[in-house]
Structure 1
């Protein structure tokens, strides 16, 4: 007799509340699973009882087991048990279609664990791997086939894969298969079943574009069930993830990313997403112990890489979109996106690689305020971004210092006699206290010889971020920032400022200067009436690119034609102010009262 804990009775999602056989329960418990996730619980009975189903859920909510568990249980103890073929050379009972090889490998692993627990066999078929091994598996006979549309289509056309005994077909990540251009292949595969009333069809998709809806209408039974854990809710990204955005220039990225990992990964695994394969390879070479994952890497090596990442052989994976969907790797603590993706769905799926299966995680997105906007992603995904500055080297050093101190305590006492005389000599002659000497020793052990400044705006080391304000007046254009700076600085020095960005309230502008030039800028500003220049301690909210372009009217029209903010070039008003500024500036003394009045005119009309 099976003993059921009181906690299991109180939890409606506990395993004891579902028609799961003991071998399957034992397999789940061995993986630390004592209760189903909502999407799994809500779909189990419908799938087990034979209903066609459309399922939607946020990424990371256990969608794979939502079809694996009821299918496996149905084949061995449910309504399809008597229909399943057995013996050598048997045709498959289940076909699962997925968009990527990595996702196919992952889903296969789940079928091998849970299907294997009840005596079912499974194989995967996908491009980039030899045909002969996949054909051999099919010829021997298999219960479950997991594959990508292209390779499944090829095997069907070769006559190796036959669907005459099919009982289940699953479309997982259907919207992604649409994006990857698999529409025709998927439709052809689905049409290979003569009577779809004899086959149970399950469709899972994060979104429901028109093509997915058409597939649902055409190939699923009219009485299909729909389980929607997303609906029209605005919040589509994972709620268990902390979403952070950090301004960063492309040139600072390679130096900044290691420090973000040190500050936010908490010793767990990290995935860094890049937009190009070339940058993924280059960045992985700069990060200690990292490995790249992208489409140019041979499939066998990609599988070795994923295995090493899962096992903890290395802790940082640098990947392109090939790894963005479907990967379910435990303890991914940190996701870093090197720039905002092209669409909000990509952000949701990338950030969804952390905070999975009830865990929490952190997703950091880097962006250049002058080139990209995060407003649309924030609005469409429903997340609330934390706008933070780049981790400062001093803060990173403190974190590293704690780790180094812990490591030093692990060093054998046998080394003390060999270094004791040198330590005593240093203590007596250096003029430093014992604590100060130990601090320097920790810094040396951690690889630090000095602590540099780092820009809050671009993440560049050796730079300081300044805030320029002009007596509370609005600043409409970065051009005026340079104009103001040239009033109290040599033109060459003013032109050396970097990354000029306006504040969201238009009452100021921030920019970077070399740390060595900081004193020159601050002293110079003291002679400028109505101008304040301060070192930024916390980066203020910034006006983003889409907002800036809309108001300034940058676009495809004539440079001096059109109306501001409508995409037709500079507005007449701001153009007149700029031309007037250029004509009158040489006439006026830089800090005369007349010039101060003129400054206000330019700012107000710019």
Structure 2
């Protein structure tokens, strides 16, 4: 099905054409006829199959059908996302598809200018995108109201449960108009039993739509696995980088500590890379993502904070430097490549510890990952190691420095040696107590 066949408003059609979309993906072909007709839909599809575009197109069509709007601080649509990265990505896609539509868009999430977001929201928006925490914060301050929302969209609902946001999510949903007075859409890579319970509680008889059959990984991802010792992982990674011609690659680690160590190793060997993790400042994180999307950064090291919701065109490879402990994270990691019909490769390195996670991952994805055997020529053994002082030292605090015990003792000794006799004489001496003579019993 082509988008031209959907009889969309002209400004929306122009935005779709400018984004380069011509034919619908399977999830879009199944859901758009339902959502454009006003039906509620709970959609399941493999990551990277175009779910975001599906619900945004439905949203813009709904807003065009009612051009009057609500005005004031009453958003017409609410889009909920579990992570900051996903909220940013949805906002970017919404602005791209709606560039000709004229609707105001505001995304709110933690880690960036609080007052700037608050003031922008206070001026009134048509489409509100955000994470639950920041949305609740502004709602309690009565910066905006949810009483006139015409469409609710929940993206990656299963992740809301995983991250413990389900209480916040219910708090927001209970402040919306009744479910039969708004349209409700839910999209996710997985639709578990608890997610469907949420759908039936807050949606109006949703139509469940699923694509991809029993396979939950993207069809066009070529998966491979190398068994390797933990002390040889970087040696093998260097060989794979040279062999695979990795132009734009995401490398995933389980912890920030391992990611930092990997970045230092890559930099010592002339490989430009950056790392993003949960405690990296949001402004810095967004700058790193812009550089990676623009092609200025060939390698992005990330923890699982970046495995969901990021649509980056042209990611040729995903490398699991550490196999994830959660099988779902494996699916979302490799879903960063082979997006929207493109091809991609996912390479996993299983060391002694990571191999323990392999059985659960293969059971979850429903197939075995093809194992590859690396010969000795693939290992790069003469690589450079970063100097021990490569990590930046924390700047010393200003003010009076507290002396160390050895320094204090030295200074005290020096003072004793240089003190004048007069000074010493002035020091009061402790008097000795005289022992009292025992009283004679003969007294």
State the TM-score, normalized to the length of structure 2.
Answer: 0.81
Please tell me whether the aligned partners of residues 112 and 121 of structure 1 are also in contact (alpha carbons under 8 angstroms). no
Residues 322, 354 of structure 2: 8 Å contact kept: no
Match of 1:274 among 253, 268, 277: 253
SS in 2 for 1:332: coil
Looking at structure 2, the residues matched to 81 and 102 of structure 1 have their Cα atoms a distance apart, in angstroms, of 30
Given the superposition, is the C-alpha separation of residues 323 and 391 from structure 1 closer, same or farther in structure 2, using an over 3 Å criterion?
A: farther
CA distance in 1, matches of 2:34, 2:92: 24
Structure 2 counterparts to residues 322-337 of structure 1, below 5 A: 322-337=305-320
Deviation sequence 1:308-355 (CA, Å, 0-9, x none): 000011111000010011111001010011222113211111111111
Query: CA RMSD for the aligned pairs?
Result: 1.8
Correspondent of 1:377 among 361, 364, 367? 361
User: Cα–Cα, structure 1 residues 334 and 153, in superposed 2: closer, same or farther, change >3 Å?
Assistant: same
Query: 1:81 maps to what in 2?
Result: 67
Query: Quick one: which of 118, 130, 153 aligns to 1:170?
Result: 153
Verify: 1:388 aligned to 2:376, yes or no: no
1:15 corresponding residue in structure 2: 3
**2:73–2:144 CA contact under 8 A, matched in 1:** no
> CA, structure 1 residues 371+144, in 2 after alignment: closer, same or farther (shift >3 Å)?
closer
Alignment-derived partner of residue 338 in structure 1 = 321
Tell me the alpha carbon deviations over residues 550-606 of structure 1, each in whole angstroms, 9 at most, x when there is no partner.
Answer: xxxxxxxxxxxxxxxxxxxxxxxxxxxxxxxxxxxxxxxxxxxxxxxxxxxxxxxxx
- Verify the 8 A CA contact 1:115 1:121 in the aligned structure 2: no
Determine which structure has greater relative contact order: mean sequence separation of CA pairs < 8 Å that are 6+ residues apart, divided by chain length. Answer: 2
Alignment of structure 1 residues 115-134 onto 2, 5 Å: 115-134=98-117
CA distance in 1, matches of 2:4, 2:39: 22
- Residue 259 of structure 1: how far off its partner (Å): 2.5
Which runs of 5 or more residues in structure 1 are unaligned? 1-12, 396-453, 455-459, 463-606
Partner SS for 2:217: coil
Matched, 1:49 2:41: no
1:300 to 280, 283, 287: 283
Q: Deviations over 1:423-479 (max 9, x none)?
A: xxxxxxxxxxxxxxxxxxxxxxxxxxxxxxx4xxxxx848xxxxxxxxxxxxxxxxx
Pick aligned residue for 2:207 from 211, 225, 242: 225
State how far apart, in whole Å, the 1-side matches of 2:22 and 2:338 are.
19
Partner of 1:195: 178
Match of 1:207 in 2: 190
Q: How far off its partner does 1:256 sit?
A: 2.4
Identify which of 166, 169, 178 aligns with 1:186: 169
Residues 246, 366 of structure 1: 8 Å contact kept: yes
After TM superposition, give the deviation of residue 247 of structure 1 in Å: 1.2
Query: 1:95 is matched with which residue: 78, 83, 86?
Result: 78
TM-score (norm 1): 0.60
Deviation readout 1:62-100 (Å, 9 max, x if unpaired): 110110011112212x2x334x235xx452111111111
Contact 2:43 2:208 in 1 (8 A): yes
Provide the aligned length of Structure 1 versus Structure 2.
377
1:379: Cα distance to partner?
3.3
CA change 1:184–1:100 in 2 (3 A) is same
Alpha-carbon distance between aligned partners in 2 of 1:371 and 1:361, rounded to the nearest angstrom:
23
1:551-590 equivalent positions in 2, closer than 5 A: none
Unmatched 5+ stretches in structure 2? 383-443
Q: CA deviation at 1:144?
A: 0.6
3-state SS of the aligned residue for 1:145?
strand
Q: Distance in 2 between matches of 1:371 and 1:123?
A: 41
Distance in structure 1 (CA, Å) of the matches to 2:26 and 2:193: 26
Aligned counterparts of 2:308 and 2:353: Cα–Cα separation in 1:
29
1:260 aligns with 2:240: yes
- 1:174 positional shift: 0.2
Note the C-alpha offset of 1:391.
6.5
Residue of structure 2 equivalent to 1:283: 262
Task: Identify the residue that residue 68 of structure 1 maps to in structure 2.
Answer: 56
